[in-house]
């Protein structure tokens, strides 16, 4: 069994991962790392920082903490030869550079979304992209999410633009010329795709990719109603990665 340390182990996602992964029978949760003490330990030990972790007891680190926490996890994993799986979003270019540097020393998986359904919806959107004139994305998340737009919506927009570019399609133009309220049309991602972010209590993670063409429309919607929806993808990533240096960006290649 792979021995797992979870960074952000006291958070809602960290606690969900600890419970879910330990229940799969092929992972042992050995350490929960967090500045706050976790409510449940699931048989693991609790430490407040990586300085207190014995690297010989850990095969893979799973980080669902903060962008700053990712930098610390990446440095510790690179120094100690431990694989790393990252689910934290909102990284700056400088913070992402630390992740890329770590992947030259150990195996790293980083993904905006570990839901298999979200991966498939992105794949379906890329298939549809060359056949429609316009596409917009609405992403909806819980009110505790700090970054906007979501990493999932940005990844989807990039996949759509890549598919349109490969098909010889140009940028998507916005017909709106007068904005009564600034920002009413959302943020503009690469390729002219509009992204609209919603933050409300009661939500978890939801996304609608809306395509429009002459006389028809197509909506691809994915809903994560519970954080357990991310466990399968995290498990795929943890199974796939080891101490051998490489970077897996997104889990699309792990979903057959």
Residues involved in catalysis: 141, 145
Q: Sheet of 27-33: strands edge to edge?
A: 45-47, 27-33, 2-7, 60-63, 83-86, 107-110, 246-249
Q: Is the peptide bond before 128 cis (omega within 30 degrees of 0)?
A: no
DSSP classification of residue 172: P
Helix, strand, coil percentages (3-state) for the chain, rounded to 5, are: 35, 25, 40
In angstroms, the Cα distances linking 34 to 43, 123, 127 are 16, 34, 40
* Number of residues that this document lists for the chain: 256
Answer for the pair 99, 108: CB distance below 8 angstroms, yes or no.
yes
Q: How far apart are the first and last CA of the chain?
A: 23
Nearest partner of 227 among 9, 20, 2, judged by Cα = 20
- 22 burial class (0-12, 13-18, 19+ CB within 10 angstroms)? middle
């Amino acid at each position: 069994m792979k021995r797992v340390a979870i960074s952000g182990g006291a958070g809602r996602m960290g606690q969900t991962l600890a419970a879910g992964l330990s229940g799969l029978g092929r992972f042992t949760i050995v350490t929960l790392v967090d500045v706050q003490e976790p409510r449940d330990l699931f048989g693991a030990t609790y430490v407040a920082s990586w300085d207190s972790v014995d690297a010989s007891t850990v095969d893979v680190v799973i980080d669902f903490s903060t962008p700053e926490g990712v930098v610390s996890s990446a440095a510790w994993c690179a120094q100690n030869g431990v694989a790393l799986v990252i689910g934290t979003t909102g990284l700056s270019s400088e913070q992402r550079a630390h992740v890329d540097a770590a992947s030259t020393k150990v195996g790293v998986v980083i993904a905006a979304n570990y839901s298999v359904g979200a991966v498939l919806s992105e794949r379906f959107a890329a298939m549809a992209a060359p056949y429609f004139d316009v596409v917009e994305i609405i992403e909806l998340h819980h009110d505790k999410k700090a970054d906007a737009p979501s990493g999932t919506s940005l990844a989807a927009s990039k996949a759509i633009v890549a598919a349109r570019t490969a098909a010889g399609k140009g940028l998507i133009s916005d017909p709106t010329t007068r904005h009564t309220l600034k920002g009413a049309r959302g943020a503009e991602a690469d390729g002219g795709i509009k992204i609209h972010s919603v933050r409300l209590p009661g939500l978890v993670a939801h996304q609608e990719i809306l395509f429009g063409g002459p006389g028809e429309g197509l909506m691809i919607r994915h809903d994560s109603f519970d954080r357990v929806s991310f466990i399968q993808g995290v498990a795929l990533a943890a199974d796939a990665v080891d101490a051998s240096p490489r970077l897996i960006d997104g889990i699309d290649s792990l979903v057959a």
